[in-house]
Amino acid sequence: MIVAGRVWSGGGPKPPGELIEVGVRVEHVEPHALVLPGLTVRCELGGVLDGTDLRADPHAGGGPGATPEQRREALVFGMVNTAYHLKRALD
């Protein structure tokens, strides 16, 4: 299945690029992991994934002043961004 997510493009005038929406091919989504063909990205902090719409907003960050929802959004974004770019590199 293809899930919708947001990632840094890796290009553009300033690193890390632009925030873009992408489709990520996954075998399944677990509360704590994205399982792609040949790749699993896990969150060791617990279950943060709650569906197949993974378009998280990383702008609030996940630092000590963040709300629980902002921390969750930052973790989801990090998982999707990591999965997307690692899968591109492996393919």
> Are 49 and 29 spatial neighbours (Cβ–Cβ below 8 Å)?
yes
pLDDT of residue 79: 94
pLDDT of residue 46: 79
- Euclidean distance between CA atoms 83 and 7, whole angstroms: 10
- 88: three-class secondary structure by DSSP: helix
Whole-structure pTM value:
0.89
Q: What residue type is assigned to position 60 of the chain? A: A
pLDDT of residue 14: 80
Closest by Cα among 89, 87, 74 to 40: 87
- Average pLDDT per block of 10 residues along the chain, 91 residues long: 91 83 93 94 88 81 84 91 94 87
> Are 50 and 25 spatial neighbours (Cβ–Cβ below 8 Å)?
no
pLDDT of residue 76: 92
